[in-house]
Structure 1
Amino acid sequence: MRGASAERAARAVADGEPLFDSRGFAGRLPDGRLVRDVLGRQPIFLGERDWSFAPGDLDDPEPLPAGRIFDPESGDTEPVFSLPDPPTAADSREAILNVESALRESLGAVAPDDLAVAFSGGVDSAVVASAFDAPLYVVGFPESHDIEAARRAARLMGREEELRVVELSPADVERAVPEVARATGRTNAMDVQIALPLYLAAEQAAADGFERLAVGQGADELFGGYAKVARAPEDPRVEAETVRGAAREVIGSLPDQLERDVLALRAAGVEPVAPLLDDRVIRAALALPGELLVDGRGERKKALRLAAREFVPDAVAFREKKAVQYGSLVAREVDRLARQAGFKRRMDDHVSQYVEFVVER
């Protein structure tokens, strides 16, 4: 069992308790059944005759869906957990204080040994970084937005000496594309472009001797960080009629995304640590009203930013940031590599075709 003891996970299954102050769990219960937590924070895979935390160990691996339990004897899979749907917090100040308290408890529960931090200068990674006397790794091309933002945030936080800049070259990305695709089992452009910066930052942290990498994963989904959530219900990418409903809809995408990220980080040689995906933080986020996810001016992650003021300077807490694949310029470089290899933009999904080509080569 990873992420909790088998006995504690068994109690959660028996009680139908999806959140109990863990950061996710998966593995074999004392009775031999397999389980995966409600948000799939710990991936686990089923093969024809066995199971593993690493899909490469199995023939034709299939992930056990989040919140489900699998009985090897019967071959049956059934739901055991569902994401809580708490009442909307009526008092905005209390809701923000709950987020602040949850962040403090979650960060305080992380052991600092052998830990580095993935740091892009945004509020998510800055809050995580604030809790640890550890090196901060930012990855990107020399002229990238993320490197500039990380340097500025580190300066504002008094952490300039701890910032380690991993400056990429085209050769770094070209080498890593097939490695990431094989590690994650994915060749679509978006997944590979998102996982690449994580992989390359983690690879350097591992080379520097660190065994664990703290990341800010989960904040955008939990706290309303996506444009499609802010634009609900007009945005066709969500079905919900409210911002709060759209945020919950997006939270449902976490198991698939976390599987990709965890596999990429482990392939790079580190174990991911995600304090913002602690059960305590999830509970606080699920209770937020829509206006604390996206305020009347369209500012996203409002509650998280207000709570973050207790951990980082305001200029960091309220800073907008690009998605990592764009802020690092990795997506631009993968697109260039694809075109250089003959996969032109007029072709259907040319970057995914390029990734498939280099994996099979």
Structure 2
Amino acid sequence: MRGATADSVRRALDEPDPLPGTRGFAGAVDGRLVRDVLGRQPLFVDGGEWAFSPDELADPEPFPAGHVRPADGDAEPVWELPDPDPVTDERVAVAELREALAAALDDAAAEDGADATAVAFSGGVDSAVVASRLDAPLYVAGFPDSHDVEAARDAADAMGRDLHVVELSAADVERAVPAVARATGRTNAMDVSIALPLFLVAERAAADGYDRLAVGQGADELFGGYAKVARAPEDPRVAADTVRGARRELLGTLPDQLERDVLALRAAGVEPVAPMLDDRVVRAGLSLPGDALVDDRGERKRALRLAAREFVPDRVAFREKKAVQYGSLVSRELDRLARQAGFKRRTDDHVSAYVASRVE
């Protein structure tokens, strides 16, 4: 069992409780195969065999999140993400979120191995809140002129923290492409461009002697960080007709995204720590009203930013940030490498074709 004790998983099964106070779990307990409701721990099956890594199986398939499979049966859904009524008083909602964040961060700081933890730090509110209560070095990866490096330097200065900058080169990206593709089992441009900066920053942290990497994963999905959520129902990329409904749609994508990120980080030599996906934070986030996710001016992650003022300076809490693949300029470099290798933009998905060629 990874991510939780067998007893805590048994309690989650008996009640059943989808958010029993963990940061996710997967594995076997009492002859049953389980994976938590958000899929925070990857798990793969091949017939009657199972493993935490797809490399250990001949024909691996992801085990579905929120499911349980007895030894002599098929996987069945047991846990469903709660859909509570929103807390209508914004001050109460933000206070509850702030309390949940503090508890999750303090627990992460007190865990065994916390002294071997580094922080993936991009300068945005998510990673800054994670860093705020961890006595751990901060690492950012990006090209020298990238938005993420500039934002991380400014945020680290505002927080009075030292920062390790992993300045990327074309050679770094080129070298990492096949490693990331093989680790994640994916060659599509979007997945690889997201996982690459994580892999490279984790690789450096591991080389410096750290075996855990604290990350801000899950905050955008939980707190309304995506433009398509803010634009619901006008945005055709979501089916929901409300911001809260669109947020729930995005949470449904987490098992697939977290599988990618966790596998990439483990391949780089670290174990991820994701306080933003602590059950207490998830529960508080699910209770936020729509205008606490996106306010009437279009500001995203409003409640998180207000809660974050307890942990970080305002200029960090309210910073707007680009997605990691763009903020690090890794996506730009992948496009350049693909074209340099002869894959023209007029070709359908030329970057994915380039990645696949590197794996082959």
Query: Which interval holds the TM-score relative to the shorter structure?
Result: over 0.9
Which of 107, 110, 123 is 1:109 aligned to? 107
Matched with 1:291 is: 291
Q: What is the rounded CA distance, in whole Å, between the counterparts of 1:303 and 1:325 in structure 2?
A: 25
SS of corresponding position for 2:82:
coil
Flag structure 1 segments of 5+ consecutive residues without an equivalent.
Answer: none
Q: How does 1:141-180 map to 2 (within 5 A)?
A: 141-159=143-161, 162-180=162-180
How far did 1:13 drift?
A: 1.1
Residue of structure 1 equivalent to 2:340? 340
Q: Report the Cα distance in structure 2 between the residues aligned to 1:183 and 1:73, rounded to whole angstroms.
A: 30
Residue aligned with 2:24, SS: coil
Give how far 1:71 is off: 2.3
The Cα shift of 1:70 comes to: 1.6
Report the TM-score, using the length of structure 2 for normalisation. Answer: 0.98
CA distance in 2, matches of 1:257, 1:48: 24
Matched residues, number: 356
CA contact (8 A) 1:233 1:239 kept: yes
CA distance in 2, matches of 1:147, 1:72: 49
Measured in 2, the distance between the counterparts of 1:49 and 1:277 equals 30
Hey, what's the Cα distance between the residues in 1 that align with 2:357 and 2:210?
A: 33
* Cα contact 1:116–1:213 (8 A) shared by 2: yes
Specify the code of the residue in structure 1 equivalent to 2:151.
A
What is the match of residue 13 of structure 1?
Answer: 13
**Equivalent residue for 2:76?**
78
Q: 5+ unaligned residues in a row in structure 2: which ranges?
A: none
Query: What displacement does 1:8 show?
Result: 1.5
Indicate the residue corresponding to 1:89 in structure 2. 87
Residue 339 of structure 1: CA displacement?
A: 0.5
Between the aligned partners of 1:70 and 1:91, the Cα distance in structure 2 is 41
Secondary structure (helix, strand or coil) at the match of 1:355 reads helix
Deviation at 1:117, TM superposition (A): 0.2
Q: Which residue is 1:237 aligned to?
A: 237
Structure 2 residue aligned with 1:310: 310
Contact 2:8 2:20 in 1 (8 A): no
Please provide the CA RMSD for this pair.
0.7
Question: Which structure 2 residues correspond to residues 1-361 of structure 1 after superposition, within 5 A?
Answer: 1-30=1-30, 32-74=31-73, 76-110=74-108, 111=111, 112-159=114-161, 162-360=162-360
**TM-score, normalised to structure 1's length?**
0.98
Query: Displacement, 1:72?
Result: 3.2
Distance 1:243 1:346 in 2: 36
Off by >2 Å, runs of 4+ in structure 1: 71-74
**For residues 42 and 310 of structure 1, what CA distance do their matches in structure 2 show?**
29
Q: Percent identity?
A: 72
Query: Does the CA-based 8 Å contact 2:28-2:34 persist in structure 1?
Result: yes
Structure 2 CA distance for aligned equivalents of residues 214 and 146 of structure 1: 17
